[in-house]
Amino acid sequence: MQRYSILHRTYYNYPDAVTLGPHRLRLRPREDHELRIESSFLDITPEAELHWQRDAEDNSVAIATFAQPTNQLVIESKVIIQQYNEAPLDFLVADYAVNFPFDYSPADLAVLTPYLLSPAQVPDTALKAWVDSLWQPPESLQSYELLLRLTNHINRTLGYQAREEPGVQTSSQTLALGTGSCRDFACLLMDAARYLGFAARFVSGYLSTPPSPNNYGATHAWTEIYLPGPGWKGFDPTTGEVVGGDHISVAVSRVPDAVPPVEGTYLGSAGSRLEVGVWVTLL
């Protein structure tokens, strides 16, 4: 078991006093048999009233409402977790899904359909060509090996570039540019997996990385793909690895731009400035 301290600070500075609308905060890690929250503290200035909810994806969401105007919004989340995912490769895929291609069972399909490519969706031409260059029938390959091949190929052939602007590049944009952020790479892997027939979803969270004087940290993103047996299995195309103990999941979604850590509205002059700092420390 490993213990991590997560400090996530968010500052919004406004040109003058504004009225804040409700804000949705996705800052609390997802608890399961591999991750437990030891302590959690949320400090918000100006004072806010909090209501905790679970969304349709079972993400923990805090709704913050404000009663007074302000020219600065400060949100500070402090969490200590216990991480038990120390052997991410210790899993068994169900016999019928070991080799690719395979079909999900009817019971699983009823739940997984929103995470699959629907019949109405037309695969992007650039994405289709990219995936076809990495696997085509009748090549025999294990399902896990194919997913790891896609993950490694993104890591080896595309250049990582941090992007502060909101939004996610389309897969065709990422392939054309040859660069992207972690969320762009996660979206590319998700689209590629769905094109092949896997159920896939987008994950927002944290990654423990070695500290440096200039490392103010950031949130991280990767992809989870459903494999019968182990269930939702994380693959990180930014690092080229299977998700393990250094990854801390906060929110999942079938749509990449649906789970920002903080989202909300305000009434006042345009021109807010955002500053974010994230520190993940192994205790």
pLDDT, one tens digit per residue, over 178-223 is 999 999 999 999 999 999 999 999 999 999 876 554 444 578 999 9
Burial group, residue 186, by CB count within 10 angstroms (0-12, 13-18, 19+): buried
Whether the CB-CB separation of 112 and 199 falls below 8 Å is answered with: yes
Whether the CB-CB separation of 5 and 38 falls below 8 Å is answered with: no
At 217 the pLDDT is 59
Helix 143-157 to helix 182-196 angle, to the nearest 10 degrees?
150
pLDDT, one tens digit per residue, over 146-159 is 999 999 999 999 99
pLDDT, one tens digit per residue, over 164-178 is 777 899 999 999 999
Mean pLDDT for the chain overall = 92
Q: What percent of the chain has pLDDT over 70?
A: 97
Residue 150 corresponds to which amino acid?
L
The answer, yes or no, to whether residue 46 has pLDDT greater than 90, is yes
- Pairwise pLDDT comparison (216 vs 247), residue with the higher score: 247
pLDDT, one tens digit per residue, over 254-275 is 999 899 999 999 999 888 899 9
The answer, yes or no, to whether residue 99 has pLDDT greater than 80, is yes
At 123 the pLDDT is 76
User: In degrees to the nearest 10, what's the CA dihedral of 189, 191, 193, 196?
Assistant: -140
Pairing of strands 231-236, 241-242: antiparallel
Strands of the chain, DSSP E: 2-25, 35-45, 48-54, 60-66, 70-83, 99-100, 141-142, 159-160, 179-180, 200-207, 220-227, 231-236, 241-242, 247-253, 262-267, 273-282
pTM of the complete model: 0.93
At 138 the pLDDT is 84
At 240 the pLDDT is 94
Whether the CB-CB separation of 85 and 236 falls below 8 Å is answered with: no
